[in-house]
Amino acid sequence: KAIRKKGKPSILVANKGDVRGSELKLYDFYELGFGDPYIISAEHGLNVDDLLDRIVSSISEVKAEPEEEEENIIKVSILGKPNVGKSSLLNRILGEDRIIVSEHPGTTRDAIKIIFKHDSLKLIFIDTAGLRDKAKPKEDLEYYSTLRTFEAVNNSDIVLLILDSTQGVSMQDKKIANYIQKERKACIVILNKFDLIKNNIDKKLFIDEIRYELSFLKKSPIIMTSAITGYNIDKIISKIKEVALQYSKKIPTSVLNAFIREVIFKNPPKYVRGNTLKIRYATQTGVKPPKFLLFVNNPKLMYTSYHRYLENKIYEAFGYEGSPVVIDLAKKKEEERTV
């Protein structure tokens, strides 16, 4: 029933067709309403070729569904400690008071989803409960709010990490940054309440200090804002659009391999236990986050600093601002081609 509701092309497959008496149950399969079932045996290969042919022919029959709307949806979670101004900041972005704001920290307990259209984009903002410095017992409501916060991060494309400029980076902020990096989410760091300190600091030194403290998010752009005055609020949406584009960017294989050849030529890997790493081929295997697979002679010859070097070079060359770059390794035989 659930499959029929989806309205998707379906193929009914009955496995273990080599078992004696299975033909007597064919009537039951027809009652499911999916037409003729494919009777196969995965163990012995019975009729598997016919099934594969049917799958291939079905793929060509399926009309491509419009993806424009889905591609133009960006899910953004808003994360930070209590009382850093998350809800006030979101109200400024939206241009209206959609979130209840209170002087008491922790007013917003659960994740709140708000749809906001900007030009051809549809942004889904997920305003979350703040994460406190001290863990709460599991029976406390704060504990469940924290779980919902992490769930919101997992379901988002981009995370806005909101910091209080007057307080700098706390240990809890670092834990949040670590979680964002661990989940490989694109991130923009927002320094809110900047109006309270802007006349007393050197901006460049202040940003350098924030980057140093948030070592997990060194590649994330930083925007100084004020939810009260509206300072730099307009830059948030434009930066979200930029980062979302980078987070979804696909590099042509030929371009990627030419780039890897150049990088290796300028800085070849060092010898490890009398041998050296050879990268034979590279390809991009995914987006959100951008993932790359390098086929090498021996994955054990890839040392940490060179792995980080390749990630940084890809990040710099292809403009993955705010987005993590993931490189995986696979072994490839010596006779196969090398980049």
Q: pLDDT tens digits, residue range 54-77?
A: 776 666 555 444 444 455 789 999
Q: pLDDT tens digit string along 269-305? A: 999 888 999 999 999 999 999 999 999 999 999 999 9
On whether both 54 and 114 belong to a single domain, the answer is no
Residue of 222, 215, 240, 262 whose CA lies nearest to 77: 240
pLDDT score at 27? 59
List the domain range (segments joined by +) for residue 327: 253-331
Would you say residue 109 lies in a domain?
yes
Mean predicted confidence (pLDDT) in 38-60? 72
Number of structural domains, the chain? 3
172 touches 184 (CB < 8 A): no
Prior bond of 289 cis (ω within 30°): yes
Would you say residue 339 lies in a domain?
no
135 touches 163 (CB < 8 A): no
On whether both 109 and 228 belong to a single domain, the answer is yes
- pTM across the whole model: 0.71
On whether both 99 and 30 belong to a single domain, the answer is no
> How far is CA 315 from each of CA 106, 256, 302, 324, rounded to the nearest angstrom?
37, 12, 18, 8
Top-confidence residue, 96 or 194: 194
Top-confidence residue, 82 or 269: 269
On whether both 236 and 259 belong to a single domain, the answer is no
pLDDT score at 63? 47
On whether both 187 and 291 belong to a single domain, the answer is no
| Gap between the Cα atoms of 61 and 11, Å rounded | 13
Helix (H) or strand (E) holding 1: none
Among 211, 227, 247, which residue terminates a domain? Answer: 247
On whether both 90 and 186 belong to a single domain, the answer is yes
Mean predicted confidence (pLDDT) in 6-34? 70
On whether both 281 and 151 belong to a single domain, the answer is no
pLDDT score at 107? 45
- Neighbour tally for 230: CB within 10 Å: 11
On whether both 150 and 210 belong to a single domain, the answer is yes
